[in-house]
Amino acid sequence: MQNSNPFQVVSRVPGLWGSFLVLIGFVLIGMAIGNVLAVMAIALYLKVDVGSISTILNLLISNPAAVENGWYALMILQGTVHFLSYLLPSLLFWVYIERKSISAFDSGEKPAFRVWLIAFLLVLVFIPVNSKFIEWNSAMKLPDALSGMEIWMREKEDQLSVMTSFMTSYTKLSQLLIALFVVVLLPAVGEEVLFRGVIQRKLVGIWSSYHWGIWVAAAIFSAIHFQFYGFLPRMMLGALFGYLYYWTGSLSIAILAHFVNNGFVLVMVYLNNIGVIDINIEETNSMSVMLVASSLLVTAAMLYSIHRTGMRKNGPIVAD
Return per-residue pLDDT of the chain as tens, 320 residues: 444 433 344 434 446 778 888 999 999 999 999 999 998 899 889 888 767 777 888 888 878 888 888 899 999 999 999 999 999 999 999 999 999 999 889 986 788 899 999 999 999 999 999 988 888 887 777 777 776 777 767 777 777 777 788 888 889 999 999 999 999 999 999 999 999 999 999 898 888 788 999 999 999 999 898 777 788 999 999 999 999 999 999 999 999 999 999 999 999 999 999 988 887 776 656 678 899 999 999 999 999 999 988 655 555 555 55
Distance, in Å, from the CA atom of 244 to the CA atom of 1, rounded to the nearest integer, reads 25
Answer whether residue 93 is part of any domain.
Answer: yes
Answer whether residue 109 is part of any domain.
Answer: yes
The tally of domains found in the chain comes to 1
- How many residues are there in the chain? 320
**Domain boundaries, position 66:** 13-314
Answer whether residue 319 is part of any domain.
Answer: no
CA distances, 216 to each of 21, 63, 138, 149 (Å): 17, 34, 22, 24
Q: First vs last Cα of the chain: how many Å apart?
A: 10
Answer whether residue 160 is part of any domain.
Answer: yes
Answer whether residue 90 is part of any domain.
Answer: yes
Cβ density class 115-124: b for 16+ within 10 Å, e for less: bbebbeebbe
Answer whether residue 320 is part of any domain.
Answer: no
- pTM comes to 0.88
Answer whether residue 55 is part of any domain.
Answer: yes
Answer whether residue 41 is part of any domain.
Answer: yes
